[in-house]
A and B are shown apart, each in its own frame.
Chain A
């Protein structure tokens, strides 16, 4: 299929892009990498009258250390994150996740701002934003605002952004004291959207967990941070994998869909949680990175 006709502009500043969206009066769509928008256009599942290309706006593609955070520009491509030494060092869970995001040719164009704004419930970067408790920064007609990742994702393919708001950067707090982490995902084919996925990060002291971070996706309309599972890990030692798997299974209520049943998904996320625990514990104990 081919897209229906639309007008096109490529503004060179965020202000101009916001004005172009306003002028389109709700019928405009910004395009970043186009890797989710183009399929929708080709199938005419969306028919904007105006496409506002963001890629001519300078300074929206960067990865930089900002105090105890890593700031990432909205137009930064998946492949830039995948091959970044700074991401590998400061946000290792993101680094491990990136090869699972689609395929190289799609990672060469898809952007973090686009992935977050598209809000696919089985996408990796939205889950990582929730996992790291990232701040998503957007600009609209009324100016700029900061949105906590957990407030950003409203339901499947829906965010709290207004139609004329544009994400320009995202700030990820570094989990400085966490020495153990894991990212586990199962998909039908490598690079496909996940059937289920978990990210885990732990801080240990004297052989027990003193702080933990847990997020999952593929098991609900939005990525979820599992605070109950984080609580349950406090004080846990190396033998807690099975118990952690059971807690995570109990935290989720997935639906059945064309891919797999709800029961399969719940069993899968539990198994991935056990695997993630073992891996994170090994890393915290100084095992293989």
Chain B
């Protein structure tokens, strides 16, 4: 059994015929070659596979590709370009918010949604917001710093 789906990803329309059991994470990486989205645990715990679907951060490993039919998705490839990083990516670079980079796509996509929905007025709030994303390298300090800096910038530009 396969099902036809149409999905808009990073502004581009994709059509495909997929098995119901195909995970969105595998659809992105294996079918479409969008390997920016990383896969760590495949049960919702590590956050590496987080993408934005219709404006909300979502675990792509806990999403069937068939359920993304008609959706608009942003992956890390859609945030910025190496020449022109988006504001949050820029802060990750400034603050050294990454080392090996495995967790980074998930951290960025989670960070985008946190910046949209929460005041992030204290480091505690930022840490609570990031509690579903695991990083084995940085010790989190500089990831928190990057999001703190992005939140300050957000508050300046959208009073």
**B107 nearest CB across to chain A (Å):** 12
**B92 nearest CB across to chain A (Å):** 18
Contact partner, B57, options A1, A51, A108, Cβ 8 Å: A108
Q: Are B131 and A106 in contact (CB under 8 A)?
A: no
Instruction: Point out the residues of chain B lying under 8 angstroms from A51, CB to CB.
Output: 20, 64
Nearest opposing residue in chain A for B54, CB measure: A108
Q: Are A2 and B131 in contact (CB under 8 A)?
A: no
A191 at the interface (CB under 8 A from B): yes
B128 at the interface (CB under 8 A from A): yes
Instruction: Point out the residues of chain A lying under 8 angstroms from B110, CB to CB.
Output: 104-105
Q: What is the number of contacts between chain A and chain B, taking CB atoms within 8 Å?
A: 96
Give the CA-CA distance A124 to B21 in the complex, in Å.
29
B58 at the interface (CB under 8 A from A): yes
Q: A8-B66, A35-B62, A39-B62 are in contact. Are A104 and B117 (CB under 8 A)?
A: yes
> Per-residue 0/1 for B57-100: is the Cβ within 8 Å of any A Cβ (1 yes, 0 no)?
11101111011000000000000000000000000000000000
A62 at the interface (CB under 8 A from B): no
Instruction: Point out the residues of chain B lying under 8 angstroms from A83, CB to CB.
Output: 117
Q: Are B129 and A42 in contact (CB under 8 A)?
A: no
8 Å CB interface, A69-108 against B: 79, 83, 99, 102-106, 108
Q: A34-B63, A55-B67, A189-B131 are in contact. Are A109 and B58 (CB under 8 A)?
A: yes
> Per-residue 0/1 for A5-17: is the Cβ within 8 Å of any B Cβ (1 yes, 0 no)?
1111000000000
Q: Are B20 and A42 in contact (CB under 8 A)?
A: no
Nearest opposing residue in chain A for B129, CB measure: A104
Q: Are B1 and A8 in contact (CB under 8 A)?
A: yes
**B94 nearest CB across to chain A (Å):** 24
> Per-residue 0/1 for B1-44: is the Cβ within 8 Å of any A Cβ (1 yes, 0 no)?
10100000000000000011101001000000000000000111
Q: Are A7 and B1 in contact (CB under 8 A)?
A: yes
Q: Are A8 and B44 in contact (CB under 8 A)?
A: no
Q: Are B21 and A108 in contact (CB under 8 A)?
A: no
B47 at the interface (CB under 8 A from A): yes
B114 at the interface (CB under 8 A from A): yes
**B152 nearest CB across to chain A (Å):** 20
Q: Are A7 and B20 in contact (CB under 8 A)?
A: yes
Instruction: Point out the residues of chain B lying under 8 angstroms from A157, CB to CB.
Output: none
Q: Are B132 and A106 in contact (CB under 8 A)?
A: yes
Instruction: Point out the residues of chain B lying under 8 angstroms from A35, CB to CB.
Output: 44, 59, 62
Give the CA-CA distance A109 to B57 in the complex, in Å.
9
**B25 nearest CB across to chain A (Å):** 10
Known: A8-B64, A55-B67. 9 other contacts (CB 8 A): A8-B1, A34-B64, A42-B61, A43-B43, A103-B133, A104-B113, A106-B59, A108-B113, A192-B131
- On B, residues with C-beta under 8 Å from A are 1, 3, 19-21, 23, 26, 42-44, 47, 50, 56-59, 61-64, 66-67, 110, 113-114, 117, 127-129, 131-133
30 A-B pairs with CB atoms under 8 Å apart are A2-B21, A2-B42, A3-B21, A4-B21, A5-B19, A5-B21, A6-B21, A34-B62, A34-B63, A35-B59, A38-B43, A38-B61, A39-B43, A99-B128, A102-B132, A103-B132, A104-B57, A104-B114, A104-B129, A104-B132, A105-B47, A105-B57, A105-B58, A105-B113, A108-B56, A108-B58, A109-B58, A189-B131, A190-B131, A191-B132
Q: Which 10 A-B pairs have the closest CB atoms?
A: A103-B132, A8-B20, A39-B43, A38-B62, A108-B56, A190-B131, A105-B57, A3-B21, A191-B131, A190-B128
